[in-house]
Amino acid sequence: MKLKKLLSVAIASVIALSVVGCGSKSAEDDKKIVVGATANPHAVILNEAVKPLLEKEGYELEVQEFSDYVLPNTALDEGSLDANYFQHIPYLEETVKEKGYKLTYTSKVHIEPMGVYSNDLKDLASLPNGAKVAIPNDPTNGSRALELLAKNGIIKLADKELVTKVDITENPKNIEVIDMNAEQLPTALADVDIAVINSNYALEADLNPTKDSIALEESDSPYVNILACREDNKDSEKIKALSAALNSEEVKTFIEEKFNGAIIPAF
């Protein structure tokens, strides 16, 4: 009986130590925030402006960079990220609808005006008949690109929430619309007359939206870039801390000074 009692005490001690160890690890994890982001401007904002603010609050920020728009939401849904910061609201909503992910968002951070770029043309009035026009191939950004062309009188579109090139109702210059991955558009400028490019990929290619584009979305664009998270961690302390940092006066000032109007704070 004495031996059994000693064994019981020993087992109980091991279990207690294990629980304490797990609790300590969990506490450490709660102070580490892993965020997925595309390189520029999102990772730049996180590393240069947000990280120091979070460090003052006792949090460690780890930024994982992605080069496309698909993997950050997959990683967030699977739990390898706490949040991501790279997309606008329509893109998130379309992904949730298509994939069934339990994702949502907290902070609205900034607007990246989508622009039209060309290696050869100085304005859209010079666009030749039969021009090749490259746009993003995902539904929301593709629709956004076509809407920008329509606002500039290149085409007319059907009255729909999301449009594709089959929804072009008038095409007086007989342009050829070419869909491709958004990250490939800057490189494609060598082979097309114009390309409609998201600002993050334009910046990575050393294109300044306000200086180098020949047409640019207006500042009231509904495509606000957001901090996305899972529904099950939206109300966690670390997501609250991250959201507050992204919407701070320090970050607003950083965006305005760093990007000179190419990126517009949305808070």
Going by their DSSP bridges, the two strands 168-170 and 224-230 should be labelled as unpaired
Q: Which residue has the tokens 């043309």?
A: 121
Helix ranges, the chain (H): 2-29, 44-45, 51-56, 71-78, 89-99, 139-151, 185-188, 199-204, 209-212, 237-246, 249-259
Task: Look at residue 15 in the predicted model and tell me its pLDDT.
Answer: 39
Q: Which residues contact 219 (CB under 8 A, 6 or more apart)?
A: 111, 113, 264
Task: Read off φ and ψ for residue 68, nearest 5 degrees.
Answer: -135, 180
Q: Which residue has the tokens 């949305």?
A: 266
Residue-wise pLDDT for 81-129, tens only, equals 999 999 999 999 999 999 999 999 999 999 999 999 999 999 999 999 9
Distance CA 182, CA 69 (A): 8
Strand, coil or helix: 186: helix
Identify whether the C-beta of residue 26 lies closer than 8 Å to the C-beta of residue 53: no
pLDDT band at 65 (very low <50, low <70, confident <90, very high): very high
Strand, coil or helix: 224: strand
Cα 73–chain centre separation: 10
Identify whether the C-beta of residue 234 lies closer than 8 Å to the C-beta of residue 227: no
Kindly tell me the burial class for residue 45, based on how many C-beta atoms sit within 10 Å of its own C-beta (0-12, 13-18, 19 or more).
buried
Check: pTM over 0.75? Answer yes or no: yes
Residue-wise pLDDT for 155-213, tens only, equals 999 999 999 999 999 999 999 999 999 999 999 999 999 999 999 999 999 999 989 99
Distance CA 124, CA 143 (A): 19
Nearest to 101 by CA among 228, 243, 246, 241: 228
Residue-wise pLDDT for 130-143, tens only, equals 999 999 999 999 99
Helix (H) or strand (E) holding 264: strand 264-265
Residue-wise pLDDT for 15-52, tens only, equals 333 433 444 445 566 899 999 999 999 999 999 999 99
Omega of the bond prior to 41 within 30 degrees of 0, cis? yes
Query: Which domains does the chain possess?
Result: 10-112+223-265 (3.40.190.10), 115-216 (3.40.190.10)
